Amino acid sequence: MAQLPRHTLLTRFLKWRYRHISHKTFTHLMSVLVGFLAGLASVTLKNTTYFIESTLSRGVLFLSTELYFVLPILGLTLVFLYVKYVHREKLEHAISSILFALSRKKGVIEAKKILTPLVTAPLTVGFGGSVGLLGPAVATGAALSSNVSRAMHINSKDRSLLIACASAGAIASIFQAPIAAIIFAVEVFSLDLTMLSMLPLLLASISGVLTSYFFLGDETLFTFALKDTFQVGDSLYYVILGMGTAFASIYFTKMYFRIMALFRKFRSPKYKLLAGGLAIGVMLYFIPPLYGEGFGFINKLLEGDHLSALGRTPFDAYTDQIWVVIGLLFGITLFKAIAMTTTFAAGGAGGIFIPTMVMGSALGNVVAKVLNNLGLGISVSEANFTLVGMAGLIAGVLHAPLTAIFLIAEITGGYELFVPLMISAAMSYLITKNTMDHTIYTRELAAIGALISHDRDQTVLSMMDLDEVIERDFKSVNSDMTLGEMLHQSVAKSGRNIFPVTDGEGRLEGIVLLDDIREFMFDVTLYDKIRVGSFMQVPPEQLFYGSDTMQQVMQKFQDSGAWNLPVVRNGKYEGFVSKSKLLTAYRRKLINFTS
């Protein structure tokens, strides 16, 4: 352990802790603490956001709905100013940045990321940004957990576990769903669910939900009482709903990446802000339920009051016709993904979890209304389909079917809907997983080989860094050198049997193996007659620093059969990686990961 400063309270506490508290017990105590901190962050986020929303709804929105055009731009401008002058870094996607910190930064998250989500997310959502608060809550909880863990000198492996505990605490606090919170941590953060991880997750989840109860009471997000039980005859309809949510999930994900790519074409963040703010304003004017998170919309659908759920729209004169209502609800299904992504692309902060629930609730209600109004004598529960639709979208968009099932069951008390929840979630997950390997959270991480998954081999490789295995003590030669110069300047001074051949600017031209010159190296008459270029050969493969993932590095060794491969960085020779050192580093990382 690094030498600690003396005569400080923290130092004295750590010394006392090492003497009197076991490592396991201290981890359990820390899981309770980070669960409480994450829960506190979630409560703060919710209250701040709802205060902004209620203030605006009592004030400017009461005066004129046309101000929908102004509010998103104002909120995004405030976020832009905060990021530019305070945060001073580009905002990152909450869950993706945590996964990257776990795989590549040993669970180290900067302290400034504690405050940033607490400021930017309420400004984004409160002023009409069509995103959720779950991602920012998890981000703040993870940053708190990381920094507290580092202060307590907790190792990187336990620090990663405590970050997952913080995410469980945040979710348990926001949704008051402790079981779903644990499952989310396992599914999204790819934890191995053993007794070593189960108890800390359980403690953190309990701590988070109790924090929510203490500050917010037992109020629930959804005021829903199950009236219609599951009928076996409806199974086929839930299969249809599952297929519908699968296609909606694929649409949701593809629309996200396409809109993000479109906004990258804007050169200035100001243009992104203006274009995005105007686009969101227009969508809010025609589809008011896209404003903010959308929990009120879901509750109205569950109550069967679709007119209140839709709010005042330019189509109010036609809402007495059920097919117009169905069309408007389907519009919410389509435009929620667009509004959410536009909010992100314009510089806003938030999460994708709750928008998927809004989109799923609208789609589930649409499917039920269509079935009930086809004139075929079909009668299904619109409230139940609304709930199950949420589960289907969560399962499809996040690739987290168990989280979807238990979350919807917990937050609604609808455990009697377990079978339809399982049917639709399984169908949605099956189709989307076979269509898209990665989610919004994981696609970019997978592209750079930084994705933690339940595949232990891939996870260990993603946690490795090429810098850990590069060896730089090889003597370089150039192709114009004579054999004698090479022997005296490089071979005699090196313990290696391979020599990189570089040009005057450090670019790799080839390699020379000691075996290639062995039969000539003792014939002094050839020292001035033969040049290095005559022995040079092309390496079987090259490793490209910064672009090759560790999975690709391992694959190149496997395909080439080489024991040493050169590393090229920005077009120039950097060093070599040996298979023996690579496998040794892999074994050490595997032992540490599974111990």
232-453: CATH homologous superfamily? Answer: Clc chloride channel (1.10.3080.10)
Out of 3.40.50.1820, 3.40.50.1000, 3.10.580.10, 3.30.870.10, which CATH number does the structure's domain 458-594 have? 3.10.580.10
What residues form DSSP beta bridges with 573? 568
Strand-pairing partners, residue 498, are 513
Average pLDDT over residues 518-524: 80
pLDDT-derived band of residue 232, with 50, 70 and 90 as boundaries? confident
Q: Which of 142, 138, 85 is nearest to 110 (CA)?
A: 142
pTM: 0.78
pLDDT in the model for residue 2 = 46
Would you tell me which CATH number, out of the four given (1.10.340.30, 1.10.3080.10, 2.60.40.420, 2.40.110.10), belongs to the domain 9-216? 1.10.3080.10
Tokens of 458: 């891939």
Cβ atoms of 68 and 311 within 8 Å: the answer is no
Instruction: Please report which confidence band the pLDDT of residue 165 belongs to, taking 50, 70 and 90 as the band edges.
Output: very high
Domain ranges in the chain?
A: 9-216, 232-453, 458-594
| Of 20-24, 99-103, 509-513, minimum mean pLDDT range | 99-103
Q: What is the pLDDT of residue 595?
A: 55
Mean pLDDT of the chain: 84
**What is the C-alpha separation between 118 and 120, in angstroms, rounded?**
6
pLDDT of 343 strictly over 60: yes
pLDDT at 259 exceeding the cut of 80: yes
Q: Residue 448: pLDDT band by 50, 70, 90 thresholds? A: low
Name residue, tokens 């949704």.
175
Residue 507 has a CB neighbour count (10 Å cut-off) of 12
Strand 543-544 relative to strand 508-513, pairing: unpaired
DSSP 8-state assignment for residue 85: I
In sign, the C-alpha dihedral spanning 213, 216, 222, 223 is: positive
β-strands 470-471, 543-544 pairing: unpaired
Which of 390, 391, 366 lies closest to 380 in space, CA to CA? 366
Instruction: In whole angstroms, give the CA distance from residue 310 to residue 332.
Output: 9
Whether 308 and 295 have beta carbons less than 8 Å apart is answered as no
Distance from first CA to last CA of the chain, Å, rounded?
Answer: 20
CA–CA gap between residue 338 and residue 258 (Å, rounded): 10
Same topology, domains 9-216 and 232-453? Answer is yes
